[in-house]
Amino acid sequence: MIDIKFLRQNPEIVKENIKKKFQNEKLPMVDEVIELDKQQRECQQRSDFLRSQRNSISKGIGALMAQGKKDEAEAEKKKVSDMAEEMAQLDAKMAQLTEEVRKRMMVIPNIIDDSVPIGKDDSENVEVERFGEPVVPEFEVPYHVDIMEARNGIDLDSARKTSGNGFYYLKGDIARLHSAILSYARDFMIDKGFTYCIPPFMIRGNVVTGVMSFAEMENMMYKIEGEDLYLIGTSEHSMIGRFIDSFLDEKELPQTLTSYSPCFRKEVGAHGIEERGVYRIHQFEKQEMVVICKPEESMDWFHKLYSYTVELFRSMDIPVRTLECCSGDLADLKVKSIDVEAWSPRQQKYFEVGSCSNLGDAQARRLGIRVKNKEKGNYFPHTLNNTVVAPPRMLIAFLENNLQADGSIRIPEPLRMYMGGKERI
């Protein structure tokens, strides 16, 4: 959510930003917000005037009664009563206007960074850089589920019986590898100076609407029936929500946090859930990184965060590339976003394994997270998030890139301590 003062003073900039995101249907909202905001401020001015007048008149009523001017006192009381009634009406109208403004402001997209490429959808995202040499082995690389099944490491049939499509049982060395990758990612981020957290896996509705757009919420979140609780789609949701309605001391910034959680997603609009694959699923686990920082530091942190993911994947001998999301592919709260994609030897192309996002002060503004500063005044910090690693999608990249000609799976050195010293599966 952008600053309404900014919108009020720069409506054309806001409209141009909407056009860059190819959301022209939202253009009328800018003028609607300006008009509704004007009415709301006029109501506030009238209410403040009436309150001042009422207080002044009320003070004189006692004096009139003491002077025996009962009729004049009653007339003044009538004025006070009328003012109170009008103020109540104004308060009701202001509440309605405030809500109408908020509804529109919640869907007007955040101002994207000038460096973001302009494009309609993900087909126009722009490759930034490649790391590692993508290799296509001389032998055939099987489908990732076939690799797992050959080691008795996955059971999709039983999961369909218990839970439906989009779920799985991992077993044996594959399950252990899954946990090893998460443990390695956790320690990797701790070594970068991040504080490790395990957050709540359910959050309230006001936190959900604070951290994401309504469209994302509808397509992603599972709601707990009869409760004001949602299963998280990523630990970023509860990690940022932790600071709702709070003041941070500027000395506490930056907050650098890495969190583990299971993640639950409806995957609406995902063109169906694969019968056999584990690329797009309803439940998975993830190690996330979250930063809350001063506005002037957020772009530096943005570049640091996705570089950590690149470094992690390269330490496991997986070639990756970074892909900048174009304007039309950015979620409404995001200022800038870069995906990290891993090389698939089987498909001979890259696929997404993580996403790094700078959300500016949008989440902080929605959630009421502020930073104390006596000299410059209190302000909203910037928030960023990035995927460290998200198995089992990461498992696909790992298995394909570490599969050997004899059918064994090589375990890179950093993972061996988490796999009981094993060098191969």
CA distance 19 to 403: 46
Residue 179 and residue 44 in one domain: no
pLDDT in tens, 304-363: 999 999 999 999 999 999 999 999 999 999 999 999 999 999 999 999 999 999 999 999
Q: Which residues pair with 262 in a beta bridge?
A: 285
Residue 81 and residue 127 in one domain: no
Residue 76 and residue 140 in one domain: no
CA distance 80 to 57: 7
Q: Are 264 and 200 in contact (CB under 8 A)?
A: no
Please indicate, yes or no, if residue 114 is contained in any of the structural domains.
Answer: no
Residue 67 and residue 157 in one domain: no
pLDDT at 76: 74
Residue 152 and residue 30 in one domain: no
In the listed set 80, 105, 130, which residue is the last one of a domain according to the structure? 105
Q: Are 147 and 398 in contact (CB under 8 A)?
A: no
pLDDT at 324: 97
Residue 26 and residue 145 in one domain: no
pLDDT at 166: 86
Q: What is the CATH number of the domain that holds 126?
A: 3.30.930.10
Please indicate, yes or no, if residue 116 is contained in any of the structural domains.
Answer: no
Domain count, the chain: 2
Q: What is the CATH number of the domain that holds 15?
A: 1.10.287.40
Q: Is 71 a residue whose pLDDT tops 80? A: no
Residue 272 and residue 228 in one domain: yes
Residue 272 and residue 349 in one domain: yes
pLDDT at 292: 97
Provide mean pLDDT across the span 133-159: 93
List phi, psi (to 5°) of 379: -150, 165
**Residue 24 confidence class, pLDDT cut points 50, 70, 90:** very high
Please indicate, yes or no, if residue 387 is contained in any of the structural domains.
Answer: yes
Please indicate, yes or no, if residue 39 is contained in any of the structural domains.
Answer: yes
User: Which residues form the domain of 85?
Assistant: 4-105
Please indicate, yes or no, if residue 294 is contained in any of the structural domains.
Answer: yes
Q: Are 198 and 260 in contact (CB under 8 A)?
A: yes
The radius of gyration of the chain's CA atoms, rounded to the nearest angstrom, is 28
Please indicate, yes or no, if residue 33 is contained in any of the structural domains.
Answer: yes
In the listed set 105, 134, 153, which residue is the last one of a domain according to the structure? 105
Residue 132 and residue 83 in one domain: no
Please indicate, yes or no, if residue 256 is contained in any of the structural domains.
Answer: yes
Please indicate, yes or no, if residue 60 is contained in any of the structural domains.
Answer: yes
Residue 94 and residue 135 in one domain: no
